[in-house]
Amino acid sequence: MIHEHSTCSRTTAMVASELYYWHDTLNWCGFFEPSLTCQPREHFENPETKRRLQNLLQASGLWEHLSLIKPHPAEDAVIQMVHPAAHIAHLTSVCASGGGETGQLTPAGPASLDIARLAVGGVVAAVDAVIGGKADNAYVLCRPPGHHALPEMAMGFCLLANAAVGIRHAQRTHGIRRIATIDWDVHHGNGTEAIFLEDPEVLTISLHQDNLFPPASGGIGVRGAEGRNLNIPLPPGSGSGAYREAFDKVVLPALEAFAPDMIFILSGYDASAMDPLGVMMLSSEDFRWMTQQVMQFADLQCAGRIVVTHEGGYSATYVPYCGHAVIEALSGASAQLTDPFDAHIANYGGQALSHDQGAAVERARAAYFD
């Protein structure tokens, strides 16, 4: 049973396609190529996390309260707002040869570039819907993810920088000037940082596990043009207390100081307590809370304009609950869905803010504001 809250119900666009789940990451062992010492199995970035999120949305009834948008492939001219023609040509060559490694730890199958174009096109469609007033906010349930992709290199399971292209589209097509990004994937959003590092009209914020991936990336000393890049590296084991402290002391004050016209959330769920590629301790309620904080700010500052892109998250069991919580918050409709894991995760030792976590947040705050 869905209950819509009359005071906060919104039109949330959902961009999804069965073809997103057909992106082939080959039979790699986790994220390594099979070898005589690495038995073939399944790549971590496989369809199940996102397909099961869609399944849960449909099973709970929330899916019926979303405004569905069919994505269309992005043209080269759109992609080239971020990526040079040489990068597109390289991906074309790899896929045309049957697939393989496209960059750093980023395998692709024969149809993967076509599907990556569809992912970018989905973000562009979400931007058009939100700015055009057809939706209050939007969620793009896309594969492959995008926040590690550099302009000239695929990296970390990401072929094209989906959100970054959407941001350039918002700027150049719709005239939206100041855009903020908030990336709470457990891995540093290095691609987004690199693309906008010299653009003072884009604020890039990344909360991530300290020095997880890419190696030696995501430090607090990288500031960019006019100091518009904000990294918040958190110690391994950080949970609810650390992330809420980071939001209260750093993220929300930075948003207020920047005063964006639109916000992108790069929503990875690998900072959850059940993820195999991170050692953080968030629950679905933490992702809901962070989304609500951004929404409250966006309502006051930028007419609620938010586009969410689905990035990482590798627990097929738990990603659906985290994503469902975010989409519930965006839509203002409640599916009355109980996360069966939430109480267990909330009771994990170390959820409260620790001294070292508080010190890490303070270092990020001081590096940005002082």
Catalytic residues: 148
d(CA 75, CA 92): 14
Q: 196-199: which pairs have CB atoms within 8 A and are 24 or more residues apart?
A: 196/164, 196/167, 196/224, 196/228, 196/229, 197/222, 197/224, 197/225, 197/229, 198/224, 198/225, 199/224, 199/225, 199/228
DSSP state of 181: E
**DSSP labels, 273-301:** TT-TT----B-HHHHHHHHHHHHHHHHHH
Cα radius of gyration (the chain): 19
**176 within 8 A of 131, measured Cβ to Cβ:** yes
Instruction: Confirm if 367 and 220 have CB atoms less than 8 A apart.
Output: yes
- CA-to-CA distance for 19 and 44, rounded, in angstroms? 18
